[in-house]
């Protein structure tokens, strides 16, 4: 009798764990911040900080994100993030997405940004998550504007500052 009960509990545990991924809601990826880490006349080193919200009642593991970035409606860069991120049940976690955007085909996009003008962006791609025993892929797309930050310029040896 004990063996039958133990076998039943083992099968029940396996089925329950396996079915976890069957009741799956796609995570929501929301772009929170964009940082310009380095900027030249040929490219920009950007960091997109996203929040991944898990609406499910079980833990998800974000396994990878493949993405493409558009600036001013032109494809400028992309990449793949292979760092696994765990998102607890009914919770959220930040994800840093590095992007090197190429300006060569865009003409004056870097000059527009350096001149203080906003740039429209679009980041889109596919994310892969592990949900229960299954891997699930889902597309995502977000749009918005990168606004240049005001910088403080100081003259060497001076206490004066002006914003530019």
Residue 162 domain flag: no
- Tell me, what's the pLDDT at 35? 85
Phi, psi of 50 (to 5 degrees): -115, 160
What is the average pLDDT across 123-129?
Answer: 94
Q: Does some domain include residue 75?
A: yes
The domain of 96 spans 2-148
Does 90 fall in a domain?
yes
Residue 160 falls inside a structural domain: no
Residue 41: per-residue pLDDT: 76
Say if residue 137's pLDDT is above 50.
yes
The answer to whether the Cα torsion of 73, 75, 80, 81 is positive or negative is negative
- Rounded Cα distance, 70 and 138, in Å: 19
Two structure tokens written together for 140: 């995502």
In a domain, 154, yes or no: no
The mean predicted confidence, pLDDT, of the chain is: 78
pLDDT bracket for residue 163 (50, 70, 90): very low
Residue 30 pLDDT class (50, 70, 90 cuts): confident
Residue with more model confidence, 85 or 6: 85
Total domains present in the chain: 1
Instruction: Using pLDDT thresholds of 50, 70 and 90, give the confidence band for residue 100.
Output: confident
Residue 69 is part of a domain; what is its CATH number?
2.60.40.1820
For residue 74, pLDDT beyond 50:
yes
Is 27 a member of any domain?
A: yes
Measured between alpha carbons, how far apart are the two ends of the chain, in Å? Answer: 80
The pLDDT tens digits for 53-70 are: 999 999 999 999 999 988
β-pair partners for 145: 120
The whole-angstrom separation of Cα 6 and Cα 160 is: 77
């Amino acid at each position: 009798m004990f063996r039958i009960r133990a076998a039943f509990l083992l099968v029940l545990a396996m089925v329950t764990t396996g079915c976890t991924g069957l009741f799956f809601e796609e995570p929501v990826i929301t772009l929170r911040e964009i940082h310009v880490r380095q900027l030249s006349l040929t490219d920009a080193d950007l960091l997109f900080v996203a929040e991944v919200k898990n609406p499910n009642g079980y833990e998800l593991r974000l396994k990878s994100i493949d993405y493409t970035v558009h600036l001013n409606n032109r494809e400028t860069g992309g990449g793949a993030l292979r760092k696994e991120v765990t998102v607890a049940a009914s919770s959220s976690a930040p994800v840093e997405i590095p992007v090197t955007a190429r300006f060569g085909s865009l003409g004056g996009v870097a000059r527009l940004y350096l001149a203080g003008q906003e740039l429209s962006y679009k980041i889109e791609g596919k994310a892969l998550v592990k949900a229960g025993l299954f891997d699930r892929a889902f597309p995502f797309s977000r749009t918005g504007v990168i606004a240049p930050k005001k910088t403080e310029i100081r003259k060497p040896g001076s206490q004066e500052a002006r914003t530019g």
